[in-house]
Structure 1
Amino acid sequence: MLYQFRKAVEKSLLKTMGKIGLCTVESYIGGEFFEASFLDTNDPQLKAAFPHISAPLAGATFSDIVLSSVNWHHKMLSVRDDNDDISIPLLGLFKERQEGAGHTFGNIAVRAYSGMTGEAVALEQDSDEAVVDAEHDDQGVIIPPTEEIQLLQAKKLSAEDINGHVITDGYRAFSKDLATERSFRPAALRDVLAFPIDVSALNTIQDFSEALSGINRHGNIAVAFAGLSASFDGETATLVLENGSRSRYQALGEALAQYFGEDIHSSACDDKGLSLQVSGTAKHFMHSIVTAPAAIAVAAVQPATEILPTLVTGAMSHGSLITKTHEAIATAVNMVGGKSNC
């Protein structure tokens, strides 16, 4: 049994290494260069296994992993035969399945790529230079080159071109399709993150109820609000709204009572705040409230010409990218002032 287990582990490891272009094991042993998404790295057992990795959003503990393994073991004991699809679900962890786990760049992404790669390629050229046989599209979008002659004639874009860039229709469609897919089947850390809930302009019970309805009460360790702060004293939570009024606090209190039910025992408000006696999920929720920082004015955001020079393409092996792709990435990054190490 031990021999079979060791053989299975070695074959799966070699297959994974082959797919991502790893040639040796020694340089990766103990490297801990990956991200432990959805794991609670503060758990004593997991911290011992991953001492130098921190997952700020927490997640499953060692006990959760053990319980999951035990549950799957008991489930496998109920399997009747190899064709028992009900007892042996196809999770899609390796080969993507329609009802299985989400993949960061799965079938949806691959199909959406064709829309971007089908867009016309165009380069900025000085009037005395040879013009590449390509034109700007209707939006004047400059798209990274791909053909050999384009790679040779490509040059760094001016600050005006970079700061005045236009997002192509192909990329808008690509990002929209991925966002829709990942809202149903999260595949990366960003897929389970959300922008702060802005309650600064909410006034009625319906307004606050709609804002609360988009919150998942289970699994969140923090819920960010703009225009709302929370403090605790024992079992009493005090909420303060930006530009609060008695009517707004009454509406917020009623919306919370409808949302949490019996976990909110009593409430009282005045022009300065809303006080709630809470327990259970309501207490956990109140403790998870964090106040989002004030929004940054658009004028204070760094221009693209200051951001792009900080970007670097890491060295990638030819086991994962072909020569033509290496050249296109290197040229595109150099065009916008970044650094290439392809």
Structure 2
Amino acid sequence: MKILIVDDDKTNLSLFTHMLAQLPDTSISTCPDAYEALDWCGTHEPDLILLDYMMPGMDGLGFLSRFRAMPGQEMTPVIMITADMGLQVRHQALQMTANDFLSKPVNRVELLARVRNMLAMRKSQLAMSQKIEHLAEEVEQKSHQSNTLALNSMDLLARAAGYRDPETGEHLLRMSNYTRIIAARLGLPQEEQDLLLNAAPMHDIGKMGIPDHILLKPGRLDEEELKVMRLHAQIGADILRDSPSPLLQTASQIARTHHEKWDGSGYPNGLKGEDIPLYGRIVAVADVFDALTSTRPYKKGWSLEDASRYLRDNAGSHFDPRCVEAFFAGWNDVLDIHNRYQESK
């Protein structure tokens, strides 16, 4: 344990050092000046400070105030030593988080007892801090394992859906990256951008529950077939909703809401405006843009210009205007993603 003694009287420094020399497993450092002591604390980690109250230049309270403001020094034990033990001084020192007091002249037995008590408290602090760090590492490890398991589960689901859904893997790569571009331009934190990137590919997982004669029909669907096809939004949400994983819960929300429209004319619940979760609004823009620009056996892809015009024309009706604006604010990144993930020949 490291003890720092701060006192402008060199005789006191020698006396306290001599008194504490018998303590096992301790090293003692001394500073005759409060400013020098602050410099020492900037490069060392004290476990206990014996601090004189009356010092020229900066007194003990001034040192204590600056010391507590240093990173990691909020809880380090400090014993204030002074000949002036009036209530005002005590109260002020306590308010500034001094832990204990000693009166001059210092009694050797009392000094050793109080120092032992403070060092025992410090050891308990360090042990608790280590335990908290260990628990935090375990939580982070468990969280990482859970996230990895969720990603693996989503990958397996995506593979299974790929055997039935005519959409390509490149479509999923493009649209999920578009969602991250929109999220970034909306100012969402990196954690949420990554969450969207990983959850968005599950937006149409509910198509696994749609009969082949509807899902794979090459022509336009009639009204009854459209009703069945639109069930895939709720089916996808139901498939994903019961997982404790935040990733799968986000994917469930996206599956349920990415076909809702800003004006309330979407499905499955006819949500309107900001009643539609933001992630669903973001995915709606990314998914429609890529669907329009993708060539399929039953249709030719639109040009980038035509698809862009469609987004702008439908901002405020189909799409959240802010999401459309964010999409075009990242247009150079959109073009990069569009060109990088082309359909396999």
TMscore range, shorter length:
under 0.3
Higher helix share: 2
TM-score, normalised relative to structure 2: 0.21
* Structure of greater relative contact order (alpha carbons < 8 Å, 6+ residues apart): 1
